[in-house]
Amino acid sequence: MFVKPNPASGMPIYVQMMEQIKHAVETGALRPGDQLPGIRSLAETLVMNPNTVAKVYRELEHQGILDLRHGMGAFVTSKARVTARTNRVQAAEPLVKQLVERLRKQGLSEEQIRRLFEAELIREEELMRSAK
């Protein structure tokens, strides 16, 4: 389910992992109550430091996305704010799908589409910062 983080991406490995887990929750790949792999197991699978996985799990617990149960593991929380966020993301999926299909029909590759999205998000973030 999880993809090995890319150390050359410019984004810290723990942030990449957090985004993967959030995305899995938001799209319904991980549902409330689902258990995530153990820290050591996930670290070995993705060739990561177990401390990094532990940091990701702790941060996602702090954000209300995971419940950490001592001796049992990490579970997707059943809190309403995860469900609301999931519903918003699921509602946006058809829009993204249509846009990706249109861009592919124009001959753009997966990597080009990804870079367009990332560039737009960066532009949007910079505009928001400059407006403050």
What's the pLDDT at 80? 46
Q: Note the pTM of the prediction, 2 decimals.
A: 0.66
Segment 87-113 shows an average pLDDT of 91
With beta carbons less than 8 A apart as the criterion, state whether 60 and 66 touch.
yes
Residue 109's CB is within 10 A of a number of other CB atoms, namely 10
| Structure-block tokens of residue 42 | 């996930």
Q: Is the dihedral of CA 113, 117, 118, 122 positive or negative?
A: positive
- What SS3 state is found at 132? coil
What's the pLDDT at 84? 66
Could you please report the per-residue DSSP string of 15-36?
HHHHHHHHHHHHHTSS-TTPBP
When pLDDT is cut at 50, 70 and 90, the band that residue 27 belongs to is confident
- The full set of domain ranges for the chain reads 7-78, 93-131
CATH topology of domain 7-78: Arc Repressor Mutant, subunit A (1.10.10)
- What SS3 state is found at 76? strand
Number of residues that make up the chain: 132
Helix ranges, the chain (H): 13-27, 39-46, 50-62, 80-105, 110-131
Instruction: Pick the closest to residue 80 from 92, 57, 64, 101 (CA basis).
Output: 64
In sequence order, the 6+-apart residues with CB closer than 8 A to the CB of 35 are 73, 74, 75
When pLDDT is cut at 50, 70 and 90, the band that residue 122 belongs to is confident
